[in-house]
Structure 1
Amino acid sequence: MPTAPHRLRTLGGAALRVVAVWAVATGTMLVLAGLLPDFRLQSADGDSATRTATAAAIGAGAFGVLSALVWPALVRALLLVPAFVLGLLVFFLNGSLLWIALSLIPAERGGEVDPTTAVVVAAVMSAASSATSTALAVRDDGAYRRRLARLADRRGSAQCGPEAAPGTVFVQLDGLGHDTLRAALDGVRPLMPTLAGWYRDGGHRLMPWRTDWSSQTGASQLGILHGSNHDVPAFRWYEKETGRVMVCNRPASAALLQQRAAALTGDPGLLADPGGASRGNLFTGGAEQLALVLSVAGVNGRNGHSRSRSGYFAYFSDPANATRTFASFLAEVAREIGQSTASRLRGDRPRMGRGRLYPFLRAFATVVERDVVVAAVIGDMLAGRRTIYADLVAYDEVAHYAGPRHRDTHQVLRRLDRSVRLIAKAARHAPRPYRIVLLSDHGQSEGPSFTAAHGLSLQDLVRAGCGLPVGRRAHRRLRDDEALSALHAALHRSPESAEEVHPGPVVLASGNLGLVSFPDITGRATREELDRRHPALLRTLADHPGVGFVLVHSDRHGPVVLGADGGEHHLDTGRTAGVDPLAPFGPGAARTVARTAAFPHAADLMVNSAYDAATGQVHAFEDQIGSHGGLGGEQSRAFLMWPSDLPPPVRPGEELTGAERIHEVLRGWLDAAAREGGGAAGRRGRGRAGEDAERAG
């Protein structure tokens, strides 16, 4: 228990920091008053330097008090406003507080500012005050912890003592494949120096893991967090019994998938134990502490809003954070416009359009989502929460448009590395030791889209095979990817009307995996039934050069994979005819395709694009350069990077396969950490992540 002298020293230090911040704010206000013609601190008749300084001190003090007391209340009230709009209100609200503060200066001492100039002055003062406060607090570990802990919602924080069991932070680098990560760790100047340092000094180990056929965040993260991704055949699919199109990154669909997984396993989730936190994910994992989690974004009522947006309140309650993030947002929009223009001038191939709303969507994923999630994770650690799982979607978003190894994605990897280093440094100030585990949910494979390579869409090809009219233009739709997931959670909206089912076969795309369903056929359409109704369809698809294989169910042989020139692979017996259509996709392809074929909601036809083993290229059925969702290339090779003091996930020579297996591994590590509690190993582990970060940095 703190003694009286200790409390006095703490209060004295806090008072000195307040005075120092006040002095810096006063000085900043004086400088701005001298530089900006529409900002005046003197009366109309002119004042002495002393009177002007006094006016600045009063204004700076009033602005500081209003920022501390009124700003958090404003942000809390605006939780019901879409987060995208909140970012646009930041400057206006901050400027309004400054205008009010200046109005509190006695009339005889002056104090006037143009409304537009007030926005600029408030932004500069917030940044200067925040920088001063942070610099002073860093010298005092206790103050530093208290400052950073305010970035997160402290309700329900775990109580930790010096003998606390180690905590675990799982950081998911969305879409980053194992081979791409290895390339980013190599060289004299690696793209990701923090991770490279951990790997080279033996502090962390690295291995690939093979995803399920549906190599996308919905299936992978559901399996990782909830222990089952059964009956998730793709990113989007059609369910005949309800006539509904399920899309993994829609709030209603995500909530239903989470409920189905919990009902199947009886397990509330990886993060369900006290002290669990889910940040920036599609699913909760059973955690109580949530921020930017899609499956609760559609919850009605104020409670639902509060749960899904608590991370926004924690972050934007500091006006300096709001100002910095919004400025970075605008810079990222400008960066994307510049990079896309440069790509067009260089004549990069393959290349796709990156205009319209994309610069803003990218900026949300790479700046706003990143800042809020990283701040929430830091706050979680300083609050002593035992298990934290966070998803950073920035790389995946940019790689879809630029390509997984493009120079534009290299910049994103560098910034992600800095985010991991920041999390690791914050671990040094946490009340318990932390292990940091990094992983991805899938990789990405590159290649021109199916439409770009062959001049027609998959929907056009299916309709042609059925003898139906084909439109002159390929159908284009807005992508539903991880960045949109985070945006849906931030907007608290579920665009369920975006997907419409038209007469005829329903054709959906999930990266380079296509799904074809026939609503007029009850149950699973069979090969025999389709041959009777549409005799040319199966061969039209299987023989197309852009198609790798087609999965269909046969009355006689069960699930059958069809390929070009009559090639077949009967999954139940393993018998093949002609050239095995699964051979280019590796020895594990038959097993993973057979698993999906048994799902109740597998489509009537599952179409995987062609894969060039020499180049690693696939053809997405969506408008993407980097894609994932099916088989072929690096999209199926995710990574797992864990501290070396944890046991290896598999025995030597074994392959780590499937998201459900990753769940078992992570669960085992958490159980082992819970048993450690308080021993010498736990004490030795304190601050290890932060020390590693210091060495790597």
Structure 2
Amino acid sequence: MERQTLAARLRALALWIARQAVDVFAALTGFYYSKKYAVLTRRFGWPPADQRAGTRGFVAVEIDGLSYDQLQRAIAEGHMPYLASQIHSGRLRLSPWRCGLPSTTPAAQAGIMFGNNDDIPGFRWYEKDTGLSVICKLPNASKLLEDRISSRQPGILRGGSSYFNMFDGDASLSLLTLSALNRQHLFASGRGMGFLLLFLLNPLRTVKLALLSLWEYASDLLHRTAARLRGERRVPFQGIFPLLRVASNVVFREVQTFALLMDIYRGVPAIYTTYYSYDEMAHHYGVDSRPARHALSEIDKRLRQIDRLRRARLSREYDLLVLADHGQTPSEPFSQRYG
């Protein structure tokens, strides 16, 4: 009986010590992040975002083209360990949703940001009444569609930020968002130029970006060479794609993550970004290919950074939403199989 009592007391003591250790770690983490991002925001004179007392913000991270089945498989195979740990601990809840038809990024993102995607029948189409050929990846087309939709329903990002999306959701700041490129050319706004300068003027970050870019380019070359030696026809050599791979898998990913972390520190109420690297790799190599899985692993690492800063609650409390706009079906082009 005494042994059981002693064991119970030891367990209680161990739990108390563990809780204290977690609290101390959380405090140290919060202190570190507050000092780190305070210095960055002061350099460019960015004040904290307008905040209403008690109002929670949200951070939405979209992974382009990732289906529910492929996400489950990536988690089961250990490619997304941080996301898996948050789901298993109950901090995040995993559930499927139907994106509807057409299952494309513009239709899904318009529905998410504005609650309406009625006038988006595909990714490209011809309008008989206006004589327009609409191609959604072009800024003018995205701007046209958003103007139509936003006139009926306000977007969810008013007062917030949009990074690397197709639509801006009425955000106050939009960087590399297609529908906003005509009025804010890339980094034309003051804060946008500030983000770029902060990112590039840090020697360690710049060196890291250069090394990651070189490694990504070399990985693409090695993958194509190995595929050619194995006689695989689905990975042809293409001049510009390796550069696009470096842009989506490294440059864009690092810049948008940095900008998002800065906004969380400042307390921006609504933040939405899209990681395109998995979709690009899945289209080019296959949904379950090694490059596609590697892209998910790198996105998972950025989710860890984002969630850690979110949970530090430096400026406001945030809800985190990790979502996908649509999925992809494994397939092989007719031309690659039969020539």
- Please report the TM-score for the alignment, with normalisation by the length of structure 1: 0.42
Q: 2:38 aligns with which of 139, 146, 149?
A: 146
1:167 aligns with 2:57: yes
- The corresponding residue for 1:383 is 266
- The corresponding residue for 1:365 is 248
- Would you say the 8 A contact 2:56–2:318 is kept in 1? yes
| Matches of 2:308 and 2:44, distance apart in 1 | 17
* Alignment-mate amino acid for residue 318 of structure 1: N
Task: Summarize the alignment of residues 89-168 of structure 1 with structure 2, pairs less than 5 Å apart.
Answer: 140-147=32-39, 149=41, 154=46, 157-159=49-51, 164-168=54-58
* Alignment-mate amino acid for residue 38 of structure 2: R
1:395 aligns with 2:278: yes
Q: 1:152 to 1:251 in 2, by over 3 A?
A: farther
- Give deviations 1:30-60, integer Å, cap 9, x for gaps: xxxxxxxxxxxxxxxxxxxxxxxxxxxxxxx
| Matches of 1:220 and 1:151, distance apart in 2 | 38
1:434 aligns with 2:326: no
| Matches of 2:38 and 2:48, distance apart in 1 | 16
Report the Cα offset of residue 138 of structure 1.
8.6
Larger deviation, residues 276-285 vs 290-299: 290-299
What secondary structure does 2:95 align onto? strand
* Alignment-mate amino acid for residue 372 of structure 1: V
Q: 1:150 to 1:229 in 2, by over 3 A?
A: farther
Report the Cα offset of residue 141 of structure 1.
4.9
* Alignment-mate amino acid for residue 433 of structure 1: E
What secondary structure does 1:203 align onto? coil
1:191 aligns with 2:74: no
1:177 aligns with 2:177: no
Task: Summarize the alignment of residues 469-480 of structure 1 with structure 2, pairs less than 5 Å apart.
Answer: none
Q: Name the larger-Rg structure.
A: 1
Q: 1:212 to 1:306 in 2, by over 3 A?
A: same
| Matches of 2:251 and 2:189, distance apart in 1 | 18
Task: Summarize the alignment of residues 679-694 of structure 1 with structure 2, pairs less than 5 Å apart.
Answer: none
- Would you say the 8 A contact 2:157–2:171 is kept in 1? yes
Report the Cα offset of residue 420 of structure 1.
0.2
Report the Cα offset of residue 152 of structure 1.
9.0
| Matches of 2:30 and 2:150, distance apart in 1 | 43
Q: 1:152 to 1:413 in 2, by over 3 A?
A: farther
Report the Cα offset of residue 176 of structure 1.
0.8
Report the Cα offset of residue 144 of structure 1.
2.2
Report the Cα offset of residue 148 of structure 1.
5.4
Task: Summarize the alignment of residues 260-659 of structure 1 with structure 2, pairs less than 5 Å apart.
Answer: 260-263=148-151, 265=152, 267-272=153-158, 274=159, 276-299=160-183, 305-306=188-189, 309-310=192-193, 311-348=195-232, 351-427=234-310, 428=312, 430-452=314-336
Q: 1:452 to 1:312 in 2, by over 3 A?
A: same
Report the Cα offset of residue 367 of structure 1.
0.6
| Matches of 1:153 and 1:345, distance apart in 2 | 55
- Please report the TM-score for the alignment, with normalisation by the length of structure 2: 0.83
- Would you say the 8 A contact 2:75–2:84 is kept in 1? yes
Q: How many residues align?
A: 310
| Matches of 2:66 and 2:240, distance apart in 1 | 24
- The corresponding residue for 1:227 is 115
* Alignment-mate amino acid for residue 219 of structure 2: R
Q: 2:136 aligns with which of 240, 243, 248?
A: 248
Q: Percent identity?
A: 33
| Matches of 1:434 and 1:359, distance apart in 2 | 36
- Would you say the 8 A contact 1:152–1:375 is kept in 2? no
- Would you say the 8 A contact 1:158–1:385 is kept in 2? yes
After the TM superposition, which segments of 4 or more aligned residues of structure 1 sit over 3 Å from their partners?
136-142, 147-156, 307-311, 317-320, 450-455
- Would you say the 8 A contact 2:127–2:133 is kept in 1? yes
Greater RCO structure (CA 8 Å; 6+ sep): 2
What runs of 5+ residues in structure 1 fail to find an aligned partner? Answer: 1-135, 456-697
- Would you say the 8 A contact 2:125–2:134 is kept in 1? yes
Q: 1:150 to 1:339 in 2, by over 3 A?
A: farther
- The corresponding residue for 1:204 is 92
Q: 1:150 to 1:411 in 2, by over 3 A?
A: farther
What secondary structure does 2:188 align onto? helix
* Alignment-mate amino acid for residue 449 of structure 1: P
- The corresponding residue for 2:127 is 239
- Give deviations 1:631-673, integer Å, cap 9, x for gaps: xxxxxxxxxxxxxxxxxxxxxxxxxxxxxxxxxxxxxxxxxxx
**RMSD, matched Cα:** 2.7
- Would you say the 8 A contact 2:41–2:47 is kept in 1? no
- Would you say the 8 A contact 1:151–1:376 is kept in 2? no
What runs of 5+ residues in structure 2 fail to find an aligned partner? Answer: 1-27
Q: 1:261 to 1:373 in 2, by over 3 A?
A: same
- Would you say the 8 A contact 2:80–2:296 is kept in 1? yes
- The corresponding residue for 1:217 is 105
- Would you say the 8 A contact 1:280–1:293 is kept in 2? yes
| Matches of 2:175 and 2:329, distance apart in 1 | 30
Q: 1:423 to 1:447 in 2, by over 3 A?
A: same
What secondary structure does 2:93 align onto? strand
Report the Cα offset of residue 143 of structure 1.
1.5
